[in-house]
Structure 1
Amino acid sequence: TSSSTPSSPSQFFSAFSKSLLPLFGFQRRVASAERVVRFVSLFATSRDTDHASDCDAFLEDFLRFLLVASAAANKTARFRACQIISEIIMRLPDDAEVSNELWDSRFVGLSGLYVYVVRTCIYSMVLYYALGCRSDEDAANVTPSIRLMEAEVALYWRMICGHLQREAQAKGTDAAATMGTEAAVYAAEASKNNDILERILPATVSDYIDLVKAHINAGSNYHFASRQLLLLGAMLDFSDATNRKLASAFVLELLHKPFDHEVDDDGNMVVIGDGINLGGDREWASAVSGLAKRVHAASGEFEEVVLGVIEELAQPCRERTANFLQWMHCLAVTGLLLENAKSLYRVQRKCIEPPELLQSLLLPAAKHAHLDVQRIAMRCLALFGLVEKKPSEELVKQLRLSFVKGPTAISVVACKALFDLGMWHTPHVVDRAWGQDFSSQLQDNEVAYSRVAFPDADVNMDVKLLDLLCAGLDRSDWGSILAGDENESIQAVLGEGFAKILILSENYPGIPASLHPFLLTKLIALYFSNETKRLLRLKQCLSVFFEHYPSLSVNHKKVLSKAFIPVLRSMWPGINGNAGGSAHVVSNMRKLAVQASRFMLQMMQAPLYVKEMEREDENGSRESPEIVDGTVEPPLECGEEGLAIRIAIEVTSFRTKKTPAERAYVSALCKVLVLLHFRSSEQGAIQLMKRLLICVIESVSSEKDIAKELKRMANHLKTADEHPDQEQLQNQAKLIFGRLELEFNLDLIGSPEIPQTPAPRSTQPTRSRRRVRHQEASSDEESSPTSVVPTISSTMGPRSQRASKTAALNKMTAIRAPRIDEDGDGEDEDSELTSDEDSDASEQFTE
């Protein structure tokens, strides 16, 4: 009234807030309390244009009052305050202005009440979209109309419902596991969550189906929302016969829905999606199968329903009247069945038996003229082989044939299928599936890999599975990367598959141990190859593999040690028949090989994981590695000492005249050798290495810097030798060579004494010795048949000091100038190959 005093607004707010206090004590959401909440929210947001300032002040005071209540110790009071706040927010106009202070205090007050606010907001949002109205009173009098949801709304709805369901189940479990008052509290919380879930889920199964159909029929723009709604069906109750009948009809409709397609400019039909999974999307197929298994939860009912659909779809395929879209649709449903079937036992004694499914549908589809049909058939064959107790002969033969003779797109899928079958059933079982038993060969660890060519598919049927897959790494006519996927190629699939086999090698004891170094050599060469730079997925996979592989097992260290020399030989130009090229190409190839050697050295020096406390050797006995300062120390053949001996023997194999490529190769090996460490506990390896270093230093005697480092290493080993006066016995050396699986004749090595450096010089004959050294060096060059070094006379008269210097400089210039052209490959690898810049460049492979 006009006679009201200025204090009337504050007095009214005080009386109003006190009258609402009983509302905060209601523990259940009764209808009367809900009506009071709606009235209070509507009253607080109403505005009188004549007293706008009083209305704003009342609303702000009321919100502050609610924020205080939202931080109360009583849970019921907090919930009621958040409920009223959410109702007020929903009723505020879009142009409403709220002070920053109030917004900040609102967020602080609601920081611990996020779940309750979200529940109420989602409930209001779902009512708005599902019923098309804003109030419950209007919804009771209006025919419900479906309002399409945005992707975010559908996602939030499913997540909140899933959270409520999990929370209710957890509280129910806690209630069943406790007694007394605690059990009653848990049961009340579970009941409250179930009540909220029932309110925000569709009222009936029919309403849910209508909602999903509306979004499916809306087109591809609502594909994501439709998938979220399908996943929401897993929370509905289909125990009622009527609801289950309606849902079953809807599931059949989803299974019969063909691939979406469009027609290109040439009139050809093009499938939309991946062309493999039902609906063109793996997530969509998973959602459909989840709903189908929820509706048909009885044992064997899901398989029976899906097989009935397959029988209907396969009829035109059997009669050879189906087009490629019908073939793909039938195979997609078949793949959905096989992917969700734990074994073929569930599929037996149904309308289609497993052998009939294989012979009349899958194998004919693998020979179809359309590539998309072949591709999806390869996937179905792989799934069929996984659920079989043992893979059938026809299945394995078809996969091998498609891998060898098929186009690139088909070979990729067939390669994945062969890897899956090999890792699930073991390679030996897959080999026996088509009548070949290599068990006698598997007992001989020396039989590692038989090189296979691909001239004819019939020839390749007589080799082991792993040999066939290994041959794929050497094949150069696979074709380019698939147009649809930049990371999809045969090389990438083979690399990932062999990486899985190596890192899980303990699960496949039937694979020969001698095959592991060969596979690791191929993977390292593939990782550093310029041809795989575009295969980012493969690069990432191998990067993770190399990070963990050397630390998982001491046996992995042994494999890495045995693969070191083959990797460097396969990458170094001019070694093992590797092609070279121009000086620039050769230099880049050498730098890449040096980076690979440093990369392998880092892996060898990586510590083992603590869990690897014991290892089982090839004879079945268990051996505990040495533990120093809490770190697991690998045995000799798995440590740096074994690698050092391997490198030393490799260097000594080049003791005769060496080509420029061999000199650079030996130099690179020695630069790795000096970085290796010897443990004091390995006295036998130390004594053996002291003797081997004699030949190593002799082999690189012309390289002053490297020889100096090697002599420093020899002196260090001499200091570490605890028994320097005792000469190592021949049997001890043979024992070490046997553990390393090496053969070397120690009789070629003389006294273990290292020659002194520098050697004493004479005065007058110096120039004649320099002439001999240059003539020998020039005779080693492989790019020039004749020497262009001028001959220096051995008899020279006395001359002045200045004349001698001038003559010496002229002769040095005359000698060095033609040597640059003569070498061709260049001798600058000693100064540039192991520079700091190259070392920094190699770090990109260890990131």
Structure 2
Amino acid sequence: MARGRRRSAVSMTVPQLLNEVQRGVASAHVRYSKMLWELATSDALATCEQLLTAMKHFATVAEPTLSQTRLLNFFGTFANDAEGRDAATTEDRLNFIAVLLEPLIELTGAKDHCARWRFCQLVHALVGNLPQNVEPSDALDKALGELEEAMLERLDDSQPRVRSVAVRALARLFVPGEAEDYSDCELTARMIEMLESENSTAVRKAVLATLPYSSFTHPYFVERTRDVSDDVRKMVYMAIKQRVPLPGLSTDDAVLLVRRGLGDRAPAVRAEVSKLVMQWLEDSCDGEPLRLVHQLDVQRHPEECELVLRMLLKEGQVNAVHLGRLAESDSIGLRADFSRPGAVMGPASALFWRVVCEWLKDEATERGLSAARRVGQAAEIENSKAAEANQALDAALPPTVADMADIIAQHAAAGAAARFACAQLMQLAARCMDFGDAAGRSDASLMLRRLLTDVPTGDNAEEAAAWEAAWRSPSWLRALALFLRKVYGSPKELADGMLPICGDLYTSGGFATEGFEVAEQAWVHALGVAGLLLEQLTSARQVAAAGEGHFSLRDLLDRLVQPGLRHRSAKVRREAVRCLGLYCSLDGIPTSLSSHLVVLRQVLITHGESATVRAVAAQALGDVALARGPKEVDRCLMAELAGGLLPGLDPELQQKAVVDLLLDVLRQWAEEFAGAAAAGAKKRAGVRRGSRGSADDLEALGGLGAALVEGLARLARTHLRWQAREEAEAVAAVQRGEQPRELAMEDIDAVKVLVELTLLHFNPEVEAASLATQVLPVFFQNYAELTSEHQQFLATAFLPAARLAAGEDKVSGKRITAATCTSSKVMGFLAQLLQTPYGDKQEPVGHEVLVDLLLRELYVCSAMGYEVPKPYLLALCRTVAALDVFPVGEPEDTDITARRLLELARQLLTEVPDSSMRKDLKVLLDKLHARARAHRLSTQPLTPEEIAVLIEQLQNFKEAEDVLADYPLPFDAIEQPEAPAAGGRKGAAAKTPGRGRRAAAADDSSEEEEDDGPQMPQDSDDEEDGGEERTPARVPPTASRRMPDRAARSARKPLVEAATSSSDEEEEDSEGEAAQDSEEEEGEEEDALSPLAENLSPAVRRPSKARRQSSDSVSALRQALQENRIS
């Protein structure tokens, strides 16, 4: 039988065997591979030739078919079977593969892109599937060297699919180096470079699948978790799941992957991260969720651990119903015996049971609502599931609220180690338990009283530090606030319960004793409890008038808050300023608001004050302005000016409105932070002592910037809401015969805020202020998605922000290129925001008003003799080409029409100094004609009189008295030399008037070809107007200063025509090459201009070729050989 099978294999030819492979299934590939190796052993030369011929036929099929996929998989199986029974057989087989690879490597450079792609696939199939434990032979090692050179060339191929396969073919050629982290490998450096610059999603996926994981390459994997492509982000998590176990990642890295992955917008990415976490659970934690949460450091990263637990519950890895029943039957979790001394839950266990109980509560609610919407058997099923979840929840929770209060009290008494668990239990009780029982609420109230009046004495430094950290922890304060609102059903009950606690703290802490020095911890704790009360109130009227001997809200202000403002400790002053800001936000306070606002302003503008205290003051001023209205705050501040200015403070800042005050302090902060960051960098470079303190000071200073940015952002975001409220109150006031109040800030103030925040977003000197820089992109994205009115405010801030950024570029003295031009980045960023769909309607917003302004700006900068950087002009052109205009027809409330924008664009076609700018203007012209056809708008050219008026308006544009009056052009004018009479070529060329930012010597050849006469270019206007008779649009008399230039060109024209044909051809070739070179340089600058460039043109321009396809592989191969595409 064996000899018969052998005769059958040998009698089968290579083509027959490959045909069987394409028709068969994958399970037969191993058998066919053995047959092919037998043929190769018997006649290696003939087998190699036949395989090569078949591979050439394979390379002519462009369509990815099932047969081609089977063939590729078979070649991979064939290479994987290269390991023979002994060393000699293995070496012979490796040599055979090396001989087969040599012609394939040469063919990867074929002219046809389909052939290159297929041959790279074949090379990858053979090399990528070689046995891992086999040492390459000398011949194979030489072939692999040639392969590396060939694939490195293919990494620059014009076709993305060729590049992606070439990347995968290099997977076996990475060298770990001496450090074994691949940091010295040239291939690693090349892959990282491609990962950062590659436009193709398929290529980035291939790089991530190929790049080896190490401590050196880990940051590049993490960086791709923010990739714009869902498939690339998914590939990151797939690669990490296959290569790195949980112990191989640091806690911070694992938490970062969980946070980004489980919070990803794409379901496919979230599903892949779920698989990654479940693999961690099975492989590294033996299927125990508590161990997984513990390894993720639950106290430092509770939000991420909660995401993991909820994902495990959703995927069914953890059964919440079973756990609830198990807690009651086995006395675990919240049903454990806590009467024993020291019996407390650990941090991971407390978070785990909170998430499980909240899951059961949400499941019961959701099932109950689902049952209410259904009828019949479906409703009964949902009701039974809701009842099951409720029973499990009751089994998991303590029997009564009093029992839960005892458990919380025991954890609170356990000290710093159980502080996190105590917060989790309070949050669990507030969300999952019913506080309708009066006895239970009374017990919980007593527990809270003991908790809030327990102040550490300071003898235990560790306990004092943990206590202070808890009172500064948002999670602890949030849990405490939730529990307070549950225990006290109304604000009045809350005030009645909390004010006596504040009174007890005042009495027991020694505040009332004359001459007694109260400890800093007692001050901070008392003010923290006062702030907790003030946060839960919305009006001072909710607090009942205190009787004789009771602690009132006025006592809270006079005895705790105001003395704390004068304390020598910055921590005490910080808490006192926070309480004062919360107090000022309440309605109906019994004291003068103006005096308190002056104190907050004084703290903010005092430069000797601590940055943390100033940050709280900035936040307090912003909150009060948000609660009462910016104009109301201004009225209160101005009322205090009658008493005179405070000595020792900037008088200018004391007289400013709240918005202008915050803006000025923000500018001062940016300068101060830049200096502090530079000084800190020098200290770190010198390795001086005290760098930790410098870092803390820089972090505190960054917190001040974050408070300022957040306050201004919130004021800008709510500006329209305050305007609507002001209008509504004005109507009511008029009906009552009263004077209306001003509440909202002016529109120009909102624009100023947007401009300043935009410039701060692109300020490289404040990048180290992470809190401030993280707020800005979130704010701008959210702001652009609100309403069309908010987008109009962004459009109004567009040109002022661009001019200010250009002015800063000019002052910096740096060489302005596409990569360093801040103004172009600002314009690209704002243009993307203006194209963001807003609200739920997803309606387009027409920005024709902004396009009109930008075209005027472009005219002034390019035609009126200003030294303007080229990237600034390019960004203007790209913006007008990208923005949407007239989506629903022409607006009735403006004089901007399609005719006007068309004329502006036509005028600019002869003024802009670059061919790419003219392309963008033609895109705008096409868009305007399309809108005109869709909405039947008039496109008749303007009359000469209208053109003259338009040109006069353009010339006076730089002297506008609107918003732009505060943001003048930052560019210098070019001195215009006197134009000579049209004459000799040399003199005319030397004295041609300047055009915008350069003299005519800098004009490209394409402009000279287009600008031969005074008439305006017609483009496709005649076709758009249906060939109607029209008046040609000519340059008005105001532009006659350009005529000497044109006269000089017309004078030179006969000299060119008189030249010989050969010289003409040489000159045209040289001009064409020069124009091509200039366009390539311009293209490189365009690509790096701004994020807007990615929407208009690809970052990498590669020549495209027509794909030649044929259904007949034999005829396709013959055609390819005739065209010398495979050689």
| Deviation digits for residues 40-64 of structure 1 (CA, Å, limit 9, x no counterpart) | xxxxxxxxxxxxxxxxxxxxxxxxx
Structure 2 counterpart of 1:467, from 660, 678, 683: 660
Structure 1 counterpart of 2:756, from 516, 519, 522: 522
| Deviation digits for residues 623-655 of structure 1 (CA, Å, limit 9, x no counterpart) | xxxxxxxx7454xxxx33222221222233347
Structural mapping, 1:62-81, within 5 Å:
none
Aligned match of 2:599? 398
> How has the CA–CA distance of structure 1 residues 343 and 655 changed in structure 2, closer, same or farther, with 3 Å as cutoff?
closer
Q: CA deviation at 1:373?
A: 0.7
Structure 2 counterpart of 1:317, from 484, 498, 511: 511
| Deviation digits for residues 748-787 of structure 1 (CA, Å, limit 9, x no counterpart) | xxxxxxxxxxxxxx99933332233399999979xxxxxx
Partner SS state of residue 317, structure 1: coil
| Deviation digits for residues 430-466 of structure 1 (CA, Å, limit 9, x no counterpart) | 223345499xxxxxxxxxxxxx999834543322111
Query: Under a length normalisation based on structure 1, what TM-score does the superposition of the two structures give?
Result: 0.61
1:559 counterpart = 2:760 = no
Query: Under a length normalisation based on structure 2, what TM-score does the superposition of the two structures give?
Result: 0.47
> How has the CA–CA distance of structure 1 residues 177 and 590 changed in structure 2, closer, same or farther, with 3 Å as cutoff?
closer
Amino acid at match of 2:327: I
Structure 2 counterpart of 1:653, from 860, 880, 885: 860
Structural mapping, 1:449-488, within 5 Å:
456-476=649-669, 478-479=672-673, 480=676, 483=696, 488=702
1:591 counterpart = 2:591 = no
Aligned match of 1:426? 629
Structure 2 counterpart of 1:121, from 310, 313, 326: 326
Aligned match of 2:722? 508
- Structure of greater Rg: 1
Work out the CA distance in 1 between the residues paired with 2:386 and 2:922. 77
> Is contact 2:324–2:395 with CA below 8 Å preserved after alignment?
no
Partner SS state of residue 811, structure 2: coil
Aligned match of 1:216? 412
> Is contact 2:328–2:335 with CA below 8 Å preserved after alignment?
no
Structural mapping, 1:151-230, within 5 Å:
151-160=347-356, 201-202=397-398, 208=404, 211-230=407-426
> How has the CA–CA distance of structure 1 residues 188 and 453 changed in structure 2, closer, same or farther, with 3 Å as cutoff?
same
Work out the CA distance in 2 between the residues paired with 1:321 and 1:588. 62
Amino acid at match of 2:421: A
Work out the CA distance in 2 between the residues paired with 1:531 and 1:300. 49
> Is contact 1:667–1:830 with CA below 8 Å preserved after alignment?
no
Work out the CA distance in 1 between the residues paired with 2:387 and 2:1091. 63
> Is contact 1:261–1:272 with CA below 8 Å preserved after alignment?
no
Q: CA deviation at 1:716?
A: 8.0
> Is contact 2:612–2:700 with CA below 8 Å preserved after alignment?
no
Structure 1 counterpart of 2:766, from 532, 540, 544: 532
> Is contact 2:785–2:836 with CA below 8 Å preserved after alignment?
yes
| Deviation digits for residues 145-190 of structure 1 (CA, Å, limit 9, x no counterpart) | 76332334333444555566778899999999999x9999999999
* RMSD (CA atoms): 5.6
Aligned match of 2:262? none
Aligned match of 1:408? 611
Moved more, 534-543 or 220-229: 534-543
Q: CA deviation at 1:507?
A: 0.5
Work out the CA distance in 1 between the residues paired with 2:386 and 2:850. 63
Work out the CA distance in 2 between the residues paired with 1:837 and 1:422. 41
1:580 counterpart = 2:812 = yes
1:543 counterpart = 2:777 = yes
Q: CA deviation at 1:414?
A: 1.0
Amino acid at match of 1:368: H
Q: CA deviation at 1:237?
A: 7.7
Aligned match of 1:328? 524
Structural mapping, 1:735-750, within 5 Å:
none
Partner SS state of residue 387, structure 1: coil
> How has the CA–CA distance of structure 1 residues 394 and 294 changed in structure 2, closer, same or farther, with 3 Å as cutoff?
same
> How has the CA–CA distance of structure 1 residues 471 and 124 changed in structure 2, closer, same or farther, with 3 Å as cutoff?
same
Structural mapping, 1:718-729, within 5 Å:
722-724=938-940, 727=943
Aligned match of 2:454? 257
| Deviation digits for residues 4-29 of structure 1 (CA, Å, limit 9, x no counterpart) | xxxxxxxxxxxxxxxxxxxxxxxxxx
Amino acid at match of 1:364: P
Amino acid at match of 1:549: Y
> How has the CA–CA distance of structure 1 residues 664 and 242 changed in structure 2, closer, same or farther, with 3 Å as cutoff?
closer
Q: CA deviation at 1:508?
A: 1.8
Work out the CA distance in 2 between the residues paired with 1:708 and 1:191. 67
> Is contact 1:167–1:193 with CA below 8 Å preserved after alignment?
yes
Partner SS state of residue 835, structure 1: helix
Aligned match of 1:788? none
Work out the CA distance in 1 between the residues paired with 2:899 and 2:388. 78
1:603 counterpart = 2:833 = yes
Partner SS state of residue 388, structure 1: coil
Aligned pair count reads 629
| Deviation digits for residues 661-717 of structure 1 (CA, Å, limit 9, x no counterpart) | 4666445434544555654944953322344346645644x5465457657866986
> How has the CA–CA distance of structure 1 residues 215 and 592 changed in structure 2, closer, same or farther, with 3 Å as cutoff?
same
Partner SS state of residue 696, structure 2: coil
Work out the CA distance in 2 between the residues paired with 1:236 and 1:209. 11
> Is contact 2:903–2:942 with CA below 8 Å preserved after alignment?
no
Work out the CA distance in 2 between the residues paired with 1:175 and 1:652. 66
Work out the CA distance in 1 between the residues paired with 2:445 and 2:696. 40
Work out the CA distance in 1 between the residues paired with 2:340 and 2:772. 53
Work out the CA distance in 2 between the residues paired with 1:590 and 1:175. 61
Work out the CA distance in 2 between the residues paired with 1:828 and 1:660. 21
Partner SS state of residue 579, structure 1: helix
Amino acid at match of 1:727: T
Q: CA deviation at 1:579?
A: 0.6
Partner SS state of residue 517, structure 2: coil
Moved more, 293-302 or 519-528: 293-302
| Deviation digits for residues 176-230 of structure 1 (CA, Å, limit 9, x no counterpart) | 9999x99999999999988776665546777655544443344433222222334
Q: CA deviation at 1:494?
A: 2.6
Q: CA deviation at 1:523?
A: 1.9
> Is contact 2:880–2:924 with CA below 8 Å preserved after alignment?
no
Partner SS state of residue 257, structure 1: coil
Partner SS state of residue 557, structure 1: helix
> Is contact 1:131–1:144 with CA below 8 Å preserved after alignment?
no
Aligned match of 1:770? 989
Aligned match of 1:138? none
Work out the CA distance in 1 between the residues paired with 2:316 and 2:325. 16
Amino acid at match of 1:119: G
> How has the CA–CA distance of structure 1 residues 389 and 717 changed in structure 2, closer, same or farther, with 3 Å as cutoff?
same
Work out the CA distance in 1 between the residues paired with 2:795 and 2:423. 51
Work out the CA distance in 1 between the residues paired with 2:359 and 2:997. 80
Q: Which structure would you say has the larger RCO, counting Cα contacts within 8 Å and 6 or more residues apart?
A: 2
| Deviation digits for residues 396-443 of structure 1 (CA, Å, limit 9, x no counterpart) | 1111111111332111111111111111111122223345499xxxxx
> How has the CA–CA distance of structure 1 residues 238 and 544 changed in structure 2, closer, same or farther, with 3 Å as cutoff?
closer
Structure 2 counterpart of 1:303, from 456, 473, 495: 495
Amino acid at match of 2:323: V
Amino acid at match of 1:228: Q
Partner SS state of residue 502, structure 1: helix
> How has the CA–CA distance of structure 1 residues 828 and 564 changed in structure 2, closer, same or farther, with 3 Å as cutoff?
farther
Amino acid at match of 2:849: G
> Is contact 2:828–2:879 with CA below 8 Å preserved after alignment?
yes
> Is contact 2:831–2:1092 with CA below 8 Å preserved after alignment?
no
